[in-house]
Amino acid sequence: MTNNRILLVEDQQDLWKMVKESFQHLNYQIIAAADKEQALFYLKNQSFDLVLLDIMLDGDNGLEILQFVRRQDQLIPIIMLSSLSDMATRKKSFSMGADDYLIKPYAQDEMVMRTKRAIERRDKNQPQNKFKSMIYMGSIKLDLDEQILFIKDTAIELRSKLYHILLLFMQNPNSIIKKHIFHNLIWQNELYDENSLTVHIHQLRKTLSSIENPRIVTVPKLGYKLEYKE
């Protein structure tokens, strides 16, 4: 059974551990973002089953994120988290597409219960996957269903982490991906050090060594990018 993935958008980072521990018994994966920029990056590059969204991110940025998500996906459940209990804010959140609203401080058990029910409701109405199963780039294509890389029509099976690193690159061509992003999105709660990332990047470079476009480029002190010339 696939683990449900939840994006927690919360600038109070001391709450991250508490939320993650609350979902441990369900084996949910919690990906945490501290601000609007990080949240939008995750939403553009990863799929989630539910979003837990704090309204008060640098003002009311949480509502901007809510608006962005609803433009992209009408079905993903979104639960707002806020210390604001006034009816006007709650009505605005619901009118913009929120599915639920939890007032801080809230009981962790209640948050878990509401999250489970929201995902169950979503699953009953979930349509068949409508997204493309292939990404094409230069001499390569990536099969998203089978996790297979094709280089000039030669099929190469990728281990899970190599596949997800390449997928992240191909979704963000010519963009610098910082090292902590690889950690948060791919290693998540597993033990991680930069040497492990370096080894995986080396393996991926070796896999792509027979072609020149695209190619993985190191950006000193920051991370890596997949350089692609159309």
Domain extents for the chain? Answer: 5-124, 134-227
CATH number of 5-124: 3.40.50.2300
Classify domain 134-227 by CATH number.
1.10.10.10
Neighbour-count burial for 183-203, b at 16+ CB within 10 Å, e otherwise: bbbbbeeeebeeeebeebbee
78-82 and 154-157 strand pairing: unpaired
Q: What is d(CA 41, CA 62) in angstroms, rounded to the nearest whole number?
A: 14
Distance CA 63, CA 98 (A): 9
pLDDT of residue 1: 43
What 3-state DSSP class applies to 142? strand
Q: Does 92 score more than 50 pLDDT?
A: yes
Cα 112 vs. chain centroid, distance in angstroms?
Answer: 20
Nearest to 188 by CA among 28, 37, 80: 28
- Please report, for residues 53, 137, 163, the alpha-carbon distance to residue 60 in angstroms, rounded to integers and kept in the order given: 11, 38, 36
pLDDT digits (tens, 9 = 90+) for 96-151: 999 999 999 889 999 999 999 999 888 876 654 444 468 888 889 998 878 899 99
Higher-pLDDT residue of 194 and 192 is 194
Question: In CATH terms, are 5-124 and 134-227 the same topology?
Answer: no
State the pLDDT at residue 95.
Answer: 93
